[in-house]
Amino acid sequence: MAASAGENVMGGTAAPTVAARRPGSWLVMPSVGVLLIWMIVPLVMTVWFSFRFYNLLDPSVHGFAGLDNYTYLVTDPNFWVSLRNTMVLLVAVLVITVGLGTLLAVLFNQPFPGRNVARVLAISPFFVMPTVSALLWKNLLMHPIYGVFGVVAHTFGLQPVDWFAQYPLASVITIVSWEWLPFALLILLTAVQSLDQEQREAARMDGAGVIAQFFFITLPHLSRAISVVIMIETIFLLTIFAEIFVTTSGGPGNATTNLAFLIYSRALLQFDIGGASAGGVVAIILANIVAIFLVRSVARRLEV
Amino acid sequence: MTDSLGRRTLIAVLGWTVAIVLFFPIFWMVVTSFKSETDAITARLLFTPTLNAYRDVFARADYLSFAFNSVVVSVGGSVLALAFAIPAAYSMAFHPTHRTRGTLLWMLSTKMLPPVGVLVPIYLLFRSTGLLDTRTGLVAIYALMNLPIVVWMLFTFYKEVPREILEAGRMDGANTWGEVWHLLLPLTLPGIASTGLLSLILCWNEAFWSLNLTSSQAAPLTAFIASFSSPQGLFFAKLSAASTMAVAPILVFGWFSQKQLVQGLTFGAVK
């Protein structure tokens, strides 16, 4: 919610003369209106609840809480762990998907037999719903006894790994990366395809090796597409929920609890609306910090 | 030298290895869905295929109603989002003001508002208005959830329509409505279709709101699949069969629409 844009929108609603003169320009108002309501109503309620004692199980506890919900939140070690997990998840998945996605985009741009089929197979995970991919990985692949990884480990005489018990956050990162790598590949591949071949040819003539070509021609050409990937992925990765809900329920302990899951468990498992709302406000502030950063650095590079 | 046989073979091997590795979990899910439960807990590839798992999933009579809910809320949410977004994108693409850029960025920034930050109020609002566990409620949420991205994509497509065409229409006496309905919509139908498709995929796969706002009546396939995560639901073949059925339609959609998806998703940034 970039503040300057918000003011603009407000200004727009109060300009009937302009709308009357230009019949096309008021058509944006229904969308702006519903989004404004969608944003402001819950936001105001969340902020309000965050200053109240409000527990669905215990109606006797009510009234103004002041900053108690926030104090309770920031003194809870789980909160800091969840904040850390949220950022680790975001950064790790971004690094993996953008890094590998760039390399794979270059690879899948090379001609080889059956390339189109291989591409379709490689991008397929993007279309699998998060709940399914979580269950798939948890049971069919990472299950220590029946999972494919465990069976393979057995075949080689190794001790199977109980992934979600021993490396819980890494396991979640693996699943989420598997879902989003195809997305990065899909976008970056299109960008690589639009690369001017003559430019590369010229560079090759000048003696640039494959690696130099990649760093000095391909990578700069991809920078806008990479911005797009980072922006879209960040929007979705900050709010990862289903993968954690299905696989670990935030555990073991709090190892895979991100902010989204922490608030969920406060609100719908512990029925602490006040505490959950304080968490919600923090999540919104965090998202805004990331949003400002993104809008400044990424969205500016997009054609509007 | 760069096109030597060795290099070409290496690329083919690498490309296919990556494709197979990435696709393997999906392949394995489909394979397991045709196994018996005893075969399913072994990793062996040779087995007698059976449709028992599918039969069992269908016997859980509710499967079809979950699927029905998925279709209704995905299509409903996408259509509603398009209904709001088409006029908005038209307005911003053909009647831009100095605020247009700001409005577009602001719209996208509402997507960064984490759903969980407003879960509590939405839950309470839904509870008090009787929208909890209804398809109507989910349709509204999905439409709002996708609206910013749908507006962005349509805006991108509309920007590519030459303004002269619409101006010519206006000269011929078309009003705003006629301009949009008779000129813009037919011209940008492929763009609208791919936008709707992406919206459909996002709705179909959405799990946060569906898990938290529905319980039985309006629960879509995401919620159905999540119910398999409980220990008593751990039957690998049935789980795989249900997952395959939940994923298959959207997966096939995705395969056929990948080109258009990229075009729309990149906001014109990748030419």
User: What CATH number should be reported for the domain holding residue B211?
Assistant: 1.10.3720.10
Confidence of residue B104 (pLDDT cuts 50, 70, 90): confident
Residue A301 has pLDDT above 90, yes or no: no
pLDDT in tens, A19-67: 444 567 788 888 989 988 888 888 888 888 888 888 777 777 777 877 7
**Whole-number Å distance between alpha carbons of B269 and B263:** 9
C-alpha atoms less than 13 angstroms from C-alpha of A60 in its C-beta half-sphere = 0
pLDDT computed for residue B111 by the predictor: 79
Highest mean predicted confidence (pLDDT) among A173-177, A252-256, B110-114: A173-177
Across the interface, which of B95, B125, B271 has its CB nearest the CB of A194? B271
Which residues constitute the domain of residue A101?
A: 68-127+183-303
Q: Which residue has the tokens 């209704």?
A: B72
Write the CATH number for A263: 1.10.3720.10
Q: Is residue B8 part of a domain?
A: no
**CB contact residues (below 8 A), chain B span 65-124, against chain A:** 84-85, 87-88, 90-92, 94-95, 97, 99-124
ipTM of the complex model = 0.81
**Whole-number Å distance between alpha carbons of B109 and B151:** 13
Which of A217, A191, A221 shows the shortest CA–CA distance to A204? Answer: A217
Confidence of residue A12 (pLDDT cuts 50, 70, 90): very low
Confidence of residue A7 (pLDDT cuts 50, 70, 90): very low
CA angle A108, B1, A186 (to 5 degrees): 10
Across the interface, which of B43, B121, B246 has its CB nearest the CB of A42? B121
User: Could you tell me whether strands A52-54 and A62-64 are parallel, antiparallel, or unpaired per DSSP bridges?
Assistant: antiparallel
Cis peptide before A252 (omega within 30 of 0): yes
pLDDT computed for residue A299 by the predictor: 65
Residue B230 has pLDDT above 70, yes or no: no
pLDDT computed for residue A8 by the predictor: 40
B118 with A2: Cβ contact below 8 A: no
Hey, of A10, A17, A29, A35, which one would you mutate to test binding to chain B, going by the most B CBs within 10 A of its CB?
A35
Highest mean predicted confidence (pLDDT) among A287-296, B163-172, B211-220, B231-240: B211-220
pLDDT computed for residue B137 by the predictor: 93
Query: How much is the average pLDDT of B129-146?
Result: 92
pLDDT computed for residue B141 by the predictor: 93
Is A200's Cβ below 8 Å from some Cβ in B? no
Across the interface, which of B16, B221, B240 has its CB nearest the CB of A118? B16
Q: Chain A residues with CB inside 8 Å of B91's CB?
A: 24-28
pLDDT computed for residue B156 by the predictor: 77
**3-state SS class at B172:** coil
Exposure pattern of B135-160 as b/e (b: 16+ CB <10 Å)?
bebbbbbbbbbbbbbbbbbbbbbbbe
CA angle B152, B153, B158 (to 5 degrees): 95
B112 with A238: Cβ contact below 8 A: yes
pLDDT computed for residue A6 by the predictor: 37
Residue A208 has pLDDT above 60, yes or no: yes
Q: Chain A residues with CB inside 8 Å of B94's CB?
A: 24
Q: Is residue B63 part of a domain?
A: yes
pLDDT computed for residue B129 by the predictor: 93
Q: Is residue A23 part of a domain?
A: no
pLDDT in tens, B9-66: 899 999 999 999 999 999 999 998 888 877 777 767 777 788 888 888 787 657 788 8
The number of folded domains in chain B is 1
Percent of residues, chain A, with pLDDT higher than 70: 90
Which residues are CB-neighbours of A153 under 8 A, at least 6 positions away? A159, A160, A161
pLDDT computed for residue A236 by the predictor: 85
Residue A54, strand partner residues: A62
Which residues constitute the domain of residue B164?
A: 53-267
Query: How much is the average pLDDT of A136-154?
Result: 84
Which residues are CB-neighbours of B243 under 8 A, at least 6 positions away? A132, A135, A136, B29, B33, B225, B228
Residue A55, strand partner residues: A272
The answer to whether residues B191 and B153 touch, using CB atoms and an 8 Å cutoff, is: yes
- Least confident interval from A109-123, B197-211, B222-236: B222-236
CA angle A176, A180, A181 (to 5 degrees): 110
Hey, of B42, B118, B240, B271, which one would you mutate to test binding to chain A, going by the most A CBs within 10 A of its CB?
B118
B99 with A11: Cβ contact below 8 A: yes
pLDDT computed for residue B2 by the predictor: 52
Query: How much is the average pLDDT of A3-21?
Result: 42
Residue A9 has pLDDT above 50, yes or no: no
The amino acid occupying position A162 is D
Residue A4 has pLDDT above 70, yes or no: no
**What is the sign, positive or negative, of the torsion defined by CA atoms of A98, A100, A106, A111?**
negative
**Whole-number Å distance between alpha carbons of B122 and B107:** 19
Which residues are CB-neighbours of A262 under 8 A, at least 6 positions away? A78, A79, A82, A250, A279
Give how far B54 is from chain A: nearest CA, Å: 16
**3-state SS class at A63:** strand
pLDDT computed for residue B82 by the predictor: 95
Its pTM surpasses 0.90 = no
Which of B123, B120, B121 shows the shortest CA–CA distance to B138? Answer: B123
The number of folded domains in chain A is 1
pLDDT computed for residue A23 by the predictor: 62
Query: How much is the average pLDDT of A271-277?
Result: 84
At CB < 8 A and 24+ separation, what contacts does A56-60 make?
A: A56/A271, A56/A273, A57/A271
**Whole-number Å distance between alpha carbons of A55 and A51:** 12
Hey, of A10, A21, A27, A232, which one would you mutate to test binding to chain B, going by the most B CBs within 10 A of its CB?
A27
